Amino acid sequence: MLDKGPYSTKIQGVNGLYPYKVKVERYLKDLREYFLDRQKVEEMLSKGENPLIYVVYEIDREGEGEFNVGCTIIYPGKIGDEYYFTKGHFHAKEPTSEVYVGISGKGVILMQDRDGRTFVEEISQGTIVYIPPGLAHRSINTGKNELVFLAIYPSEAGHDYETIMKTGFAKLVIERDGKPILIDNPNYGRYL
């Protein structure tokens, strides 16, 4: 029923969606190239510390005009001063947009265009964040609890993870004096 025709699903808070089709778990090991303090990441991994950073429950569809619906849960935590985040991606099909709806927790949606121009929107319960075509997007949990949000996007959007993996985001969200701040990423574009 989730593959074809109408369906309904329920938001389960920190347990995502039920029913769902796909569950993806991202651990620190999957994000080892992404955090600023790579030395810290390698130290943790070598000690067998491999925390779960985020989970996505998704109902994906195939075919023209369809939407994918996904629920992301980012756990609270930091690597050094840098809050836990999602990998971040451009959509492979650039002229596709996306809508996020905040369910619980608090965080930041960081967006950037191909020239590294940055846009930031805060998200918490009830916030609707619109991500227009052509912007890479990463979600960052700046709170003390899980950040949970819903994503709705065209099923033909696809994901280009490689660009962000290679260049990083131009800005980073870190904690300073107990508060989130945006700083320049000293490693931005390192592989360009």
Which parts of this chain interact with ligand S6P (CB under 6 A)?
56, 70, 72, 86-89, 98, 137, 139, 151, 153, 157, 159
Distance of closest approach, residue 178 Cβ to ligand S6P, in angstroms: 26
Strand partners, 110: 120, 138
96 binds, among ligand S6P, Zn ion, none (CB under 5 to 8 A by kind): none
Distance CA 19, CA 9 (A): 6
Residue 40 binds which one of ligand S6P, Zn ion, none, with CB within 5 to 8 A depending on kind? none
Min dist CB 157 to ligand S6P, Å, is 6
Binding site for Zn ion (CB under 5 A): 98
88, 31 contact by CB (below 8 A): no
Structure tokens at 130: 């619109």
Q: Do residues 86 and 72 touch, judged by C-beta distance below 8 A?
A: yes
Q: Which is nearer to ligand S6P, 43 or 159 (CB)?
A: 159
Which residue reads 């700046």 in tokens? 142
Q: How far is the CB of 89 from ligand S6P (least distance, A)?
A: 5
Partner touching 139 among ligand S6P, Zn ion, none, CB below 5 to 8 Å by kind: ligand S6P
Cβ 98 to Zn ion, closest distance in Å?
Answer: 5
139: nearest Cα among 117, 110, 162, 112? 110
Q: 25 or 177: whose CB is closer to ligand S6P?
A: 25
Q: Which is nearer to Zn ion, 98 or 146 (CB)?
A: 98
Total residues found in the chain within this entry:
192
Distance, in Å, from the CA atom of 59 to the CA atom of 86, rounded to the nearest integer, reads: 18
